[in-house]
């Protein structure tokens, strides 16, 4: 672990916190360090720019909503929901979206027990794909988290067994909203079509020129 004590002149500190004489460091290692340091500085600048854009965009949108509401002498308070704005020529579209983060409480385990009872009784003649769907829905990822979308999708199955219905009720009541995250998405229309493509605001989505 690196410490905060000053590094003596003529030395570099390695990843273990040890001091290494500069004249013992290979040129390629110095070049690699320079490359990483330069890219990190640029990344921090880009990250700060995106943070300022996000804050400004949310602020400007909120101000516009209030301005629009004033036309009708209406007061909009509290949490504001999803919103889509278009440029006058329809070329650009901006979406503000709020996405809830959900998890399940202990009632999800009760739902799994009821579902397993159903699957056990339905073994003869039961569709094997149903078993696979259920197993995938309750499978945890490497972090031990269950895919909420797959679990909630089970409720769309048209199964009338009372135990299955109780399980679906348990799933619905097990849903817990633990927070929300707000997004700004910017789109540009593709030519003269009615299709829009996103203007990438994350590094993974930006194409190389």
- 47-86 pLDDT, tens digit per residue, is 999 989 988 998 898 888 888 888 877 666 555 678 899 9
End-of-domain residue from the set 79, 106, 124: 79
Q: Provide the domain count of the chain.
A: 2
Q: Are residues 22 and 101 in the same domain?
A: no
Average pLDDT over residues 10-31: 93
Q: Are residues 174 and 96 in the same domain?
A: yes
Lookup: tokens for 40: 């990190």
| pLDDT at residue 139, as a whole number | 84
Judge whether residue 9 has pLDDT over 60: yes
Average pLDDT over residues 129-134: 78
Give the closest residue to 176 by CA, choosing from 115, 101, 112.
Answer: 101
The mean of the pLDDT values for the chain is: 85
Query: Alpha-carbon distance 7 to 178, whole Å?
Result: 44
Judge whether residue 209 has pLDDT over 60: no
End-of-domain residue from the set 79, 94, 115: 79
Query: Alpha-carbon distance 92 to 71, whole Å?
Result: 24
**Residue that wins the pLDDT comparison between 136 and 195:** 195
Domain limits for position 170: 81-209
| pLDDT at residue 140, as a whole number | 80
Q: Are residues 196 and 109 in the same domain?
A: yes
| pLDDT at residue 125, as a whole number | 57
DSSP β-bridge partners for residue 97: 183
User: Of 45-54, 71-80, 134-143, 198-207, which range is least confident?
Assistant: 71-80
Cα dist. 22→3, 13, 48, 149, 207 in Å?
18, 9, 33, 54, 38
Contact indicator for 21, 7 with CB cutoff of 8 Å: no
Q: How confident is the model at residue 123 (pLDDT cuts 50, 70, 90)?
A: low
Judge whether residue 206 has pLDDT over 70: no
End-of-domain residue from the set 31, 53, 79: 79
Lookup: tokens for 76: 């909009």
| pLDDT at residue 124, as a whole number | 62
Q: What is the pTM of this model?
A: 0.62
User: Of 3-7, 28-32, 33-37, 196-200, which range is least confident?
Assistant: 3-7
Judge whether residue 171 has pLDDT over 70: yes
Residues in the chain: 209
Q: Are residues 72 and 7 in the same domain?
A: yes
């Amino acid at each position: 672990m690196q410490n905060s004590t000053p590094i003596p002149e003529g030395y570099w500190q390695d990843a273990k916190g040890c001091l290494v004489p500069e004249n013992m460091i290979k040129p390629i290692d110095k070049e690699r360090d320079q490359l990483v340091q330069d890219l990190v500085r640029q990344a921090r600048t880009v990250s700060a720019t995106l943070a300022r854009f996000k804050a400004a965009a949310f602020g400007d949108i909120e101000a516009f909503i209030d301005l629009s509401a004033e036309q009708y002498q209406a007061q909009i308070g509290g949490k504001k929901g999803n919103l889509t704005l278009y440029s006058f020529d329809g070329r650009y579209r901006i979406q503000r979206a709020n996405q809830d983060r959900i998890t399940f409480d202990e009632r999800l385990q009760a739902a799994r027990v009821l579902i397993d009872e159903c699957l056990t009784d339905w073994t003869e003649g039961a569709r094997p794909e149903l078993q696979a769907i259920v197993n995938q829905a309750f499978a945890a990822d490497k972090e031990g988290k269950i895919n909420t979308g797959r679990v909630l999708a089970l409720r769309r199955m048209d199964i009338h067994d009372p135990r299955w219905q109780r399980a679906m009720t348990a799933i619905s009541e097990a849903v817990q909203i633990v927070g929300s995250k707000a997004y700004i998405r910017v789109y540009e229309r593709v030519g003269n079509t009615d299709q829009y493509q996103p203007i990438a605001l994350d590094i993974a989505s930006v194409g190389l020129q």
